[in-house]
Structure 1
Amino acid sequence: MKMTKTYKFNHFKVLFITAMCLLGNSLNAQLVNIESKRMQSDSIRFALKSDLLFDYTDNNGDYLFQLGSNVTTQLKSKDLKKIFFFIGNYKLIRSNDKDFQNNWFFHLRYNQKLSSLFRIEAFIQNQNNTKLTIVSRNLVGAGIRLKLVSSELTRVYVGNAYMYEVEKLAESGVHFYNHRNSCYLSATHSFNKTSLLLTETIYFQPLYNDIGNHRILLQMKAELPLTEIISLSALYNFSYNSFPAVNDIDRSSNLSLGFTFTI
């Protein structure tokens, strides 16, 4: 009977960890879609989205520990032309001193509106994930952002930026110092009757001296408000990361469902 209980717990633990890894996959990708995190609030100076998850289970000495936190906040100047934008998240899943997931991500961005069409941006980012080919990625960058379409229901943006990037390889610990370009196209559309909000974005980030070393991210996100604070959300990600220097490719695709809390 004891062996049966232990087997059932181990089987449940594997299924649970697999499910959590799939749900958290959008946070694990080395390329993170900043567009889906932006807060499209023209007249609101401060906005915050956050959640915290803690779970601990112990059955006959076999334990499963999970910790997850996310925060997104935006602050605008009085004239609404300058925006400070911060994203931070951390996720840990551990069982019997083995990490199934251990990653964090921090992104700080400054955006200044120069005209109805033209904006400039600067950003810094720190990213770590012990389970990927590139375990650490740090970058600083700056570029432009253009609003191509601006209507009551639809907005379309295109952007281009230069990034200086430092990456650390998992197995050897070798560091790569890269000059990378980042370009993207993003569209947001809301529906009057249902208040459904759709955001679609595609990123392409090649090295300047080697286009074969590149990252691609395609993302679609839907948010349906249930109350003024809570929204039902769905997120689809497809990412492709090519690393010719180590003859390796990271490819992932996932669909996530959940809730978004906004204040």
Structure 2
Amino acid sequence: MRNTAHMNGWKTLVHGLFLFFMTHVASGQLVNIESKRMQTDSTRFALKSDVLFDYTNNNGDYIVQVASNLTTQVKSKDLKKIYFFIGNYKLIRSQNQDFQNSWFFHVRYNQKLTDVFRMEAFVQNQRNTLLTITSRNLVGAGIRLKFLSNEYTKAYFGNSYMYEIEEVAQTDQRFFNHRNSSYVSLNQSFKNTKLDITATVYFQPLYTDIGNHRILGQVKAELPISKVISLSALYNYFYSSFSPIRESDRSSNLSFGLTFTM
């Protein structure tokens, strides 16, 4: 009996820590498109994808994990038009409880006008049942400037208008917002190690109230270990000055994994 109680205590602790970890990882509400872009120069088609399925059952207590990610980029023959798509789905479930249940889709069109100046338009749909804002849909357009470019370093500034529709399931509220999105992004490659680092900061205020804003900071590193596989590390920091059910939202997370490239 003592051993059984001891084991049950460990199960409760493990499940509690798992829930705590997943709640904090799933709390961000911005997605950094910069870290998904593919610096492929003259390559017209590129694709990155991974799929994960895991099922664990210990004495009737089970955890199911499903995750899939797809990023693809297609360029026109003159390399001046880029069609870009991101899609992912994540599910982590134990018994009848979801620790994460989310999807994200983003389609973007990029038109190169000069070596420095580009125009962009995009549509996005995302949903996460565990976040304060459970659903977010937006459409937007803006400019993208390459203000620094050499063999190993590239830096960009972007500014866009976004119209977004957000839903909060807990309070049954919907928000219709006109929001500005600005970012600065730096990509640095290292010749000897082939290490690639991308750092980005986003700032997204409402046009009518700059105090209602979101900030996302991200650093991503990729180190190739073969032609198709890279080790990757990602750090995110998210802050929102406005939340319908609390004063503000903030989170940070660090993750490691593998990236597959075609």
1:10 Cα deviation after fit = 3.9
Return the TM-score normalized by structure 2.
Answer: 0.94
**Letter aligned with residue 68 of structure 2:** S
Q: Deviations over 1:107-162 (max 9, x none)?
A: 00000101101100000000111111111100000000011011111101001000
Shift of 1:90: 0.9
2:52 paired with 1:72: no
Rate the CA distance shift 1:186–1:78 in 2: closer, same or farther, 3 A: same
Structure 1 residue 245: deviation in Å?
5.4
**Counterpart residue number, 2:116:** 117
Structure 1, 205-214 or 13-22: larger mean CA deviation = 13-22
State the partner residue of 2:223.
Answer: 224
Summarize deviations over 1:179-215 as a string: whole Å, max 9, x none: 0000000010101111111111000000000111111
What CA distance in whole angstroms lies between the structure 2 residues aligned with 1:10 and 1:134? Answer: 28
Letter in 1 for 2:211: G
Other-structure match for 1:29: 28
The residue number in structure 1 matching 2:102 is 103
Match of residue 182 from structure 1: 181
Which whole-Å CA distance do the structure 1 matches of 2:247 and 2:135 have between them?
Answer: 16
Q: Gaps (5+ residues) in structure 2?
A: none
Equivalence map 1:157-236=2 (5 Å): 157-236=156-235
Q: Give the 3 Å change call, closer, same or farther, for CA 259–17 of structure 1 in structure 2.
A: farther
Contact kept, 8 Å, 1:87 with 1:106, in 2: the verdict is: yes
Aligned length: 260
Aligned-partner Cα distance in 2 for 1:170–1:212: 24
Q: Structure 1 residues 184 and 92 mapped into 2: Cα distance closer, same or farther (>3 Å)?
A: same
**Alpha carbon RMSD of aligned pairs, Å?**
1.7
Q: Tell me, in whole angstroms, the C-alpha distance in 1 between the residues paired with 2:20 and 2:170.
A: 24
Change (3 A) 1:230 1:141: same
**Are 1:188 and 1:197, in contact at CA under 8 Å, matched by a contact in 2?**
yes
Identity of aligned residues (%): 63
Separation in 1, partners of 2:60, 2:184: 50
Matched, 1:51 2:50: yes
Higher mean Cα deviation, 176-185 or 92-101?
92-101
1:242 equivalent in alignment to 2:245? no
In structure 2, C-alpha distance between the alignment counterparts of 1:238 and 1:6, rounded to whole Å = 35
Contact 1:217-1:240 at 8 Å conserved across structures: yes
Q: Is the 8 A contact 2:187 2:198 kept in 1?
A: yes
- SS at the partner of 2:35? helix
